[in-house]
Amino acid sequence: MQNREKNIQEEIEKTMQSLDELPRLKGNPWLFDRIEAQLNTTEKPSKTWTFSHVLQPVIVCCLLLVNVYTAYTVFSNSSITEDLNTENMESEYSYMTGQSTDYYIPE
């Protein structure tokens, strides 16, 4: 266990020595000036409304209105809700065929 820790410590020391031996890199002294000049000359985008900024909310509102209208017409139509009522369907079916819905079950 101590041998392993000793090997790890030696590798760390070798790595630190190799970092100390690297030559110091010199940066471009004009880099900051070039970046600052480019930032100053870059045109800022104007805050104008484009067609898509206006069109997207309009389409969303129209779709919402169509959905509300469709839901209102479907659920407020009384003939559809009457047709879905099973008691009305049974009574109409038995009336048309002349059969009763009470079935005979032999004991």
* Other beta carbons within 10 Å of 71: 10
Please give the pLDDT value at position 13: 92
* Residue 94 included in any domain: no
**Domain around 56:** 50-75
* Residue 81 included in any domain: no
Whole-angstrom distance, CA of residue 90 vs CA of residue 94: 6
Please give the pLDDT value at position 23: 85
* Residue 91 included in any domain: no
CB distance 53 to 47 below 8 Å: no
Domain tally, the chain: 1
Tell me what the pLDDT averaged over the chain comes to. Answer: 78
- Closest listed residue to residue 87, CA positions, set 101, 77, 76: 101
What pTM does this model have?
0.33
For the cut 60, the answer to whether the pLDDT of residue 45 exceeds it is yes
